[in-house]
Amino acid sequence: MVTDLGHELEATLRARQEMGPGLEPQLVERFVDRLEAEIDRRVDERLAQRRYRGRDTNLPIVSLIFAIPLLGIGGGTGGLPGLVVVSLAIVLVNLVWALRQ
């Protein structure tokens, strides 16, 4: 995209030379609009990447951190039914969180 903007800037400067300074405000405004659109696109892309990355790693890590002791407590106290209840609770928390994203 940098080369696209560079080519557009060169074209804008050539157009200014050919058409004269009378059209300069319109040429500059058009180039600035294109530049702003490119900046917005890049910012949106980076924000989407951050959201995606955070979504993929944060909850699974936290779930594992809490799941290990909870499964131990549930299994030690309630046996197999305790393991099932804790496992279902972990799955439901992850499912609700994923659906809200």
Band (pLDDT 50/70/90 cuts) for residue 11 is confident
Is residue 74 within 8 A of residue 86, CB to CB? The reply is: yes
What sign results for the dihedral spanned by CA atoms 60, 61, 64, 65? negative
Question: DSSP code of 20?
Answer: -
Confidence band of 73 (pLDDT split at 50, 70, 90): very high
Residue 74 tokens, joined? 């549930």
Residue 1 confidence (pLDDT): 53
pLDDT tens for residues 33-72? 988 998 999 999 888 877 665 556 677 788 889 899 999 9
Averaged pLDDT, 66-79: 91
Residue 101 has pLDDT above 90, yes or no: no
- Report the predicted TM-score, pTM, of the whole model to 2 decimal places: 0.46
